[in-house]
Amino acid sequence: MSEIGLNPSVALLDFAFTYPFKLLSKEGVRQIRAELTRKEVQQHCRFETRRNPYAIRGVWKYSPFLVNLWRSQEATEAVSQAVGYPLLLNQLDWDLGHVNAEVSADYPNEFNPPHAVTQNLEAMLPPEHIKSPAATFRKNFTTEHYNDAFVAESYNGYDDAQKFTDFWHVDDYPFVCVVMLSDSSQFEGGETAIRTNRGGVIELKFPEAGYAVMIQGRYVAHCARRALNAKERITMIPTYIPADVMEEDTTFLDAAKGNSHLGELFQQWSLYRFERLAKRVDQYTKQRIKDQIVAGTFNKHEIMEECDRLIAYLEQTKQQITWPDESLVTLQ
Ligand SMILES: [Fe+2]
């Protein structure tokens, strides 16, 4: 963070991104692609939104392989090691194995089989709930931690902005892993681009399928660039929160609301937020309150600060599921 001109104190740690590293073997990539192109996945898990015309989500119901892969200790250890910080897989099953796919319609592709069904759940949402970070930040990008107004088009001019798959944005989840699932060895473009806070852009080029990058995406603006000469650019994006329950968890549901079945998403959200809260309260009680009792002390200021953190956590938990029209929150 500090090396690219961002203040690390706004984030969880002084880490912005890794360069691409090999995460998956060729067989791993082949098997993931086989899972994603299975008929039931293509019929139930394809979603389009205004921001993203082709996402695959909700695969946890159909693919034990992907569940086992991303919940495995090995995968979590690999990404934690890359960041140098203990991570926990995003607890929302709806996001397990999220895929962004860009597939040329000009060629036959296993990712565009004739039986595919694409759902648009975002179209049913009231406008105030369509909060794409990209739509918000497209022009004059500025967040509380970027000190210069940023216009996406200023990077190599407007024409080049057309080559972005996505707009400059920050993510809803603290850490994201971008895993390349297409043969990127001959890509012209196709990078994940990182916005520094000194007016520059750093391009992360994936050498081949199976390579991944880690980004502290909640705090570092980034976007994906189109692969101009390729028939497809498919990435899988497992997301992560801090493993330590005493660390802040700034997860939002803005993007997930647009392409998930809301009843299930909110069930999973409530379970994860309350389980994390319970662990935090338990740990705090054992470590801070009982310790003070044993030591015969009482630090009122410290306890009140923890109350404020718990209140903020619960406010955030509640705010994400506040919903004006209950009829939209159905269980499928
Ligand atoms: Fe992102």
Look at residue 155 and tell me whether its pLDDT is greater than 50. Answer: no
What is the 8-class DSSP label of residue 59? G
Element (H, E) at 179: strand 175-180
Pairwise CA distance, residues 149 & 272, whole Å:
36
Averaged pLDDT score across all residues of the chain: 89
Entry field: residues in the chain: 332
Element (H, E) at 103: strand 99-103
Question: Rounded to the nearest whole angstrom, what is the distance from the C-alpha of residue 223 to the centroid of ligand 1?
Answer: 6
Report CA-CA distances (Å) from 169 to 126, 194, 215: 22, 10, 12
Question: Rounded to the nearest whole angstrom, what is the distance from the C-alpha of residue 197 to the centroid of ligand 1?
Answer: 17
Question: Rounded to the nearest whole angstrom, what is the distance from the C-alpha of residue 222 to the centroid of ligand 1?
Answer: 6
Question: Rounded to the nearest whole angstrom, what is the distance from the C-alpha of residue 105 to the centroid of ligand 1?
Answer: 24
In contact, 194 and 218? CB cutoff 8 Å: no
Question: Rounded to the nearest whole angstrom, what is the distance from the C-alpha of residue 135 to the centroid of ligand 1?
Answer: 13
Determine phi and psi for 36, rounding to 5 degrees.
Answer: -75, -20
Question: Rounded to the nearest whole angstrom, what is the distance from the C-alpha of residue 304 to the centroid of ligand 1?
Answer: 35
Question: Rounded to the nearest whole angstrom, what is the distance from the C-alpha of residue 244 to the centroid of ligand 1?
Answer: 23
**Which of 179, 177, 190 lies closest to 232, judged by CA?**
190
Question: Rounded to the nearest whole angstrom, what is the distance from the C-alpha of residue 27 to the centroid of ligand 1?
Answer: 26
Report CA-CA distances (Å) from 35 to 79, 100, 158, 235: 22, 15, 38, 14
Question: Rounded to the nearest whole angstrom, what is the distance from the C-alpha of residue 224 to the centroid of ligand 1?
Answer: 8
Question: Rounded to the nearest whole angstrom, what is the distance from the C-alpha of residue 239 to the centroid of ligand 1?
Answer: 10
Pairwise CA distance, residues 69 & 200, whole Å:
35
Question: Rounded to the nearest whole angstrom, what is the distance from the C-alpha of residue 170 to the centroid of ligand 1?
Answer: 6
Question: Rounded to the nearest whole angstrom, what is the distance from the C-alpha of residue 118 to the centroid of ligand 1?
Answer: 22
**Range with the poorest average pLDDT among 30-39, 137-146, 204-213:** 137-146
Question: Rounded to the nearest whole angstrom, what is the distance from the C-alpha of residue 76 to the centroid of ligand 1?
Answer: 19
Question: Rounded to the nearest whole angstrom, what is the distance from the C-alpha of residue 236 to the centroid of ligand 1?
Answer: 11
Question: Rounded to the nearest whole angstrom, what is the distance from the C-alpha of residue 168 to the centroid of ligand 1?
Answer: 8
In contact, 260 and 58? CB cutoff 8 Å: yes
Question: Rounded to the nearest whole angstrom, what is the distance from the C-alpha of residue 175 to the centroid of ligand 1?
Answer: 9
Question: Rounded to the nearest whole angstrom, what is the distance from the C-alpha of residue 283 to the centroid of ligand 1?
Answer: 32
Question: Rounded to the nearest whole angstrom, what is the distance from the C-alpha of residue 136 to the centroid of ligand 1?
Answer: 14
User: Is the pTM here over 0.75, yes or no?
Assistant: yes
pLDDT at 164: 63
Question: Rounded to the nearest whole angstrom, what is the distance from the C-alpha of residue 171 to the centroid of ligand 1?
Answer: 5
Question: Rounded to the nearest whole angstrom, what is the distance from the C-alpha of residue 149 to the centroid of ligand 1?
Answer: 19
Which one-letter amino acid corresponds to residue 15?
A: F
Question: Rounded to the nearest whole angstrom, what is the distance from the C-alpha of residue 43 to the centroid of ligand 1?
Answer: 25
Pairwise CA distance, residues 169 & 142, whole Å:
10
CB atoms within 10 A of CB 283: 13
213-266 pLDDT, tens digit each: 999 998 898 888 888 889 999 999 999 999 999 999 989 898 899 899 999 999
Determine phi and psi for 194, rounding to 5 degrees.
Answer: -110, 130
Pairwise CA distance, residues 56 & 38, whole Å:
12
11-58 pLDDT, tens digit each: 899 999 999 999 999 999 999 999 999 999 999 999 998 878 899 999
**Which of 194, 272, 167, 209 lies closest to 33, judged by CA?**
209
Task: Transcribe 128-139 into DSSP letters.
Answer: GG---HHHHHSS
* Pair of tokens at residue 188: 């012209």
324 pLDDT tier (thresholds 50, 70, 90): low
Span 301-310, average pLDDT: 96
* Pair of tokens at residue 101: 């796919």
